Amino acid sequence: MTLETLSPSRAGDFKTCPQLFRFRAIDHLPEPTTPQQARGTTSHLALQRFYELERADRSPNRLYDLFRQAWGEIRNEEEFTDLFASPDEERQWGIDSLELLANYFQLEDPNSFDPLERELDLLEPIGEGMMIRGILDRVDRRTDGRIVITDYKTGTAPPETYSIPAFFALKIYALLIRRHLGETPVEVRLLYLNGPTMYRFPVDDRQLDAMERQLNALWSAINRAIERDHFPPRTGPLCNWCSFRPQCPAWQNLEALAG
């Protein structure tokens, strides 16, 4: 078996913990959906549709309506059933979600621009025999003609000093755009609705060339791991949120030692 495509999320998994990558990308083990993930999915859908509206119609109330409409459409899908213990819990989740979306208007003025692309699904050959797939939340062309990539986050922003790893996926998106449009984006931005906080990071060809080399090395390392069936677990703070802890050999060994 060899890898056919790589996404920024799976590349990040392999960097963080090869065993986690195996659970997700090779074994395709199911993971439970959390209310926070449901909020992220619904908010992304609402924000995507928000920019189909005329500029003058992009008000907070229209965004809230789009969130309610999106949730109504997806709430019965299998991954979102049994998410809430009671209707009251679901209602409170909805209220909290709308409060989060209200923060969006503190980050940027949606009446002042029209995105170039939303939810842009790209699959591009990068480097040596590597196919990279990414879905970009939004691509804008600034008034000076330069391209900016924006990613929405519904979780809490990390402190700025820890925000650099969060740009890993965005730099891969920038590479994809460079390949797709033949233009180098000038900036990538993370919009954290919880806060709210915006982090911006300038990009250039030199950085994207370095990212391409890093991805090539990662692609080779992943294919070597597949050949040898060697995906060592790498324990760390992420284990506290990892849904595969019960299946993870690292934690089974620890429990055996403790027992």
- Residues in contact with ligand SF4 by CB under 6 A are 17, 19-20, 233-235, 238-239, 242, 244-245, 248, 250-251
Give residues with Cβ within 8 angstroms of 30, minimum separation 6: none
Phi, psi values for residue 196, rounded to 5°:
-80, 160
Rank residues 24 and 68 by Cβ distance to ligand SF4 and give the closer one.
Answer: 24
Smallest distance from the beta carbon of 190 to ligand SF4, in angstroms?
A: 23
- C-alpha dihedral sign at 209, 210, 211, 217: positive
Measured N-to-C along each axis, helices 168-181 and 205-228 cross at an angle, to the nearest 10 degrees, of: 110
Rank residues 123 and 238 by Cβ distance to ligand SF4 and give the closer one.
Answer: 238
Smallest distance from the beta carbon of 212 to ligand SF4, in angstroms?
A: 27
In whole angstroms, what is the distance from residue 130 CA to residue 220 CA?
A: 9
Give residues with Cβ within 8 angstroms of 164, minimum separation 6: 201
Smallest distance from the beta carbon of 248 to ligand SF4, in angstroms?
A: 3
Rank residues 142 and 230 by Cβ distance to ligand SF4 and give the closer one.
Answer: 230
Smallest distance from the beta carbon of 40 to ligand SF4, in angstroms?
A: 20
In whole angstroms, what is the distance from residue 192 CA to residue 224 CA?
A: 36
Smallest distance from the beta carbon of 31 to ligand SF4, in angstroms?
A: 11
Rank residues 103 and 235 by Cβ distance to ligand SF4 and give the closer one.
Answer: 235
Rank residues 181 and 250 by Cβ distance to ligand SF4 and give the closer one.
Answer: 250
Beta-sheet strands, E only, within the chain: 117-126, 130-141, 147-156, 187-194, 197-202
In whole angstroms, what is the distance from residue 135 CA to residue 151 CA?
A: 10
